[in-house]
Each structure stands twice: as C-alpha cells, then as structure tokens.
Amino acid sequence: IEYSLPPAVAPIPPRSEETEVAAQVICALVANEIVYDGCTMQFGIGDVSAALPVYLDERHDLGVHTEIMPGGIPDLVEKGVITGKNKPHHVGKVVASAIGQVSPEDLARIDGNPVFELYDFTHTDDLRVLLEIENFVCVNNAMAVDLTGNVASETQGANLFSGPGGQISFAVASSTASGGSVIVLPSSSLINGDRASRILGGHPEGTVQTVHRGFVDYVVTEQGIAKLRGKSIRGRIGELISVAHPDFQAELALAGEHRHLR
C-alpha cells in the first residue's frame, strides 16, 4: 500500500551541554583510533553513537549495515566516504531497517535514492548474516558499564528505560568476526544536581545486563579508550577505571578489590 502522508519525524531531544562536549571527544576517539578504512559499521541510536557519522570524514570506503540509520550518512555517501565496496552482501548499499534522528533534509536525500535500502530487522539483525561481515565495527550506547565490562543499556536497577534492540546481535557479531564491538558513554552524569559515575563497581540489584563482557572489545568515554579484548578481570578493571570520571576512580579501585578480586 502506498503511503501518502508526510514523513513522521520523531522529535530529537536536545543533548545537555555536558553530554555534547563528552560526545565530541568520544566520537573523535572512536573515529580516529578504532574505525579503520574499509570497515562496515553499525551505529546505535542515542546521544553519543548517533553523533559519530559527523566525525568520519577522514575515513575511506566505509560500509553501513545497521538497524537504525542516524543522521549524517547521506553526507558521507555524497563525499565518497561510504562506498560499501568491501561488504560481503548488499555491496555498494547502505542497509538499515529504519531511519531515526535525522533531519528532513537527510530524509529528502534518502527518498528514492537507490544507494539506501531498508529491510525488516529480522534481516538486518540476523546473527547469521552479521557473522559474515569480517570487518565489522559496531558502536552502541550504554547507560552504565561495570568494572568487568558487562553493559546495561535497558535499565537503571529495576527502572526500565529502553529495550535491547539489536545491540546484543551486533555486539556478538562484531566481537566474534573482527574484535570491533564498541560501547560509548559519558563517564558520568548529573542526576538531580549530583554527579554519578556511569562506570560502576557492580550493577545495582535488578539491572538488566544487555551485553556480556565477553562481547565488549572497547569502552570509550571522554576520558579515553578502555581496551578490554583478551584482558583478564584484573586487566579489565584497570582499563575501565582509567576511563572513569576522576572523581570516582579511587572508590572504583576499592570496589574492584572487594567485589571482583578476592
């Protein structure tokens, strides 16, 4: 059935000034230190990961296979940054199941453009398909990460904020195929005027842990990049403390000793 109504555009909530600054640093780190020429990318929806395309101008021959397509992708296609030439399937195409957090101008450039193909999420998120992408880099948001690398993207304690979406499939596939599972988040947040760390000694009771630490290769905050792949629990704790907000590093070191290293 042909859809004739104007496109529905969900409002994009503004980032706080603090989150905006953190996102700029995080995206620059991911674009320059982790993303590499010729890789295929997935972008999670959210404050930080959806801002990443703007920082990819210096990369070459990227591909896109994602669930939600963020803004900035049409610019990279027109500049020749995204070519999709190295993808194992849908060669030369930008593949997604939906479009989100994009401007009306981006939508106009996507509409009718044969480079862009939308499929049901049972295809875009199919683990069997994703494991065939040997040069996969997947960048996803988290609400919090514990000191061993377990990721909570759905709840804070027992309070539900979101669902898992395709984050689990993309993390498993990118970590297995190429060691390219990336989690991004600011190191801390202001909650009712009080600063709280988003790197935690342990997740609160009732927390849904979205991605197991075994499928998390990098955690990136505005403090730096924690490289977790192949590390012991002690090594992971050290890496994650190094990217935590400085105000919390001492207490996280104590938590690591008491909760994980007995």
Catalytic residues: 67
Rounded Cα–Cα distance for residues 35 and 137 (Å): 7
What stretch of H or E contains 63? Answer: strand 63-65
Rounded Cα–Cα distance for residues 215 and 179 (Å): 8
**DSSP state letter for 107:** H
Q: How many CB atoms lie within 10 A of CB 177?
A: 18
CA distances from 99 to 68, 111, 121, 257 (A): 5, 11, 12, 44
CA distances from 128 to 17, 145, 200 (A): 40, 27, 33
Q: Phi/psi at 147 (nearest 5 deg)? A: -70, -10
